[in-house]
Chains A and B, each alone.
Chain A
Amino acid sequence: MLLQHLINGLSIGSIYALIAMGYNMVYGILELLNFAHGDVYAVGCFAALGLLTMGVHPALAIMAGIIVGFVINLFVEKLAYRPVRYSGRVTPTITAVGIAYIMRNAILKIWGPETFAFDIGVRGSNLQFGGIIIGTLQIYILLIAVSCMIGITLYLKKTKTGQGIIAISQSIPTAALMGVPVNRTISIVYGIGGALGVIGGILFCIYYDSIFIGIGFALGTIKAWMASIIGGVGSLKGAVMGAIMLGLMESMVSGYVSTLYKDAIVWLLLIAFVLIKPQGLFPAQVAEKI
């Protein structure tokens, strides 16, 4: 049984990891507590749903959803975040809250609060290993998540834009002096963050065969935060580790303690965790220079 919970936790955790990664890329650059991450990618997921119900081929629908997430985040960054980029901490965070509410209510307006079936036609079979059930779907999800993570890591390490992103996350003025196109690079980061979010969100929908408004905030943004609390806000490595630990933790809590109180218990564990590790397991920040 324990092993079963571990496996379930791992596959849910790897979805969280994708979402948290997109989230933390953005955070690493602007230190913006992006409230809107989940609600923006939820728009992408619902767009995919819309196309699916219109009979579009699932692969195309998913691609389109990812592009929608990418594009929306580009626009949101340009229109809403860029003007307040240098206005301290409170102001941009509140802007992001505003965006989250606009996106969420836009979805609610079009689709309402119902849960829809999300069927892309891949019915995974189950593999049995002496009582332990592993869905082939779970294996696919793990593979997709891992390849996205490797892809992003390579992108950051090997490409010029990736290096620019790293430079910007260390210091925007210095990066600008070194000739990194700051605005364009930040746009790209937002776009990628949105796209990664949609991938994670759609994996979610596939995993649960369904989609509803909560995949954005409740299952997306909040999980990304929880992962960041464990791993350290703004650290990519921390996000992935934190997300996997979160998946395991949730699976254990609902397996052994209580499904009803799952969220509350996980939050309480996190609040207690902050006591011991106020900056997470992998603190990203270095000593402030004065």
Chain B
Amino acid sequence: MSEALLEQLFDSLTDTLLMVGTASLVALLLGTGLGVVLFATTERGLWRQPAVSRGLGAVVNATRSTPFIILMVAIIPFTRLIAGTSIGTGAAIVPLAVAAVPFFARLVEAALREVDRGLIEAAQAMGATPRQILWKVLLPEALPSLARGLTLTIISLIGYSAMAGAVGGGGLGDLGIRYGYQRFNPTVMLAVVAVLIILVQLVQSLGDFAARRLQKK
């Protein structure tokens, strides 16, 4: 492998990490919020708002059922509005985040649902406010599941980011397609695949470790 190739590989990896990292951060912040709202507004939730619950649920489902490659194209005007352009690594972050937020939100909602209702009841019996129940009971108890959900989200984002790369987003996907596919350079292709595998493995291992640590407390 040439030094130039290594350098390119390194640059692409940096781009991928930037895209995935930023989108994950956005998903963590907005997705957690959205997930809490989805959980709490249901018929039997802490802040009963069935209309809100149904409305948000529909939007989330619509986003999640659109294939990423189509979503990316469909929201180009929105991407331009946010990033000022629709091409490049910065611009690719927008559709990645748009896909990741509802994805993680559903995982957050599921993680909160997993928390034993008896704990909510015990807290209510202690005179806890809904906000206290959320911060003192639900989120802390769901932490291991939330860590696993975030791991899954990051790994999915790594896959999506490769797709984003293919349409001008830069990163490892872009490198793989340009050199490996269009220029028939299997070395580059293999190197890209190897880096992606290592990256996913690394994220998975870190995520598992974190979840285990949180489980044990």
> Bound pair: A and B?
no
Chain A interface residues toward B at CB < 8 A: none
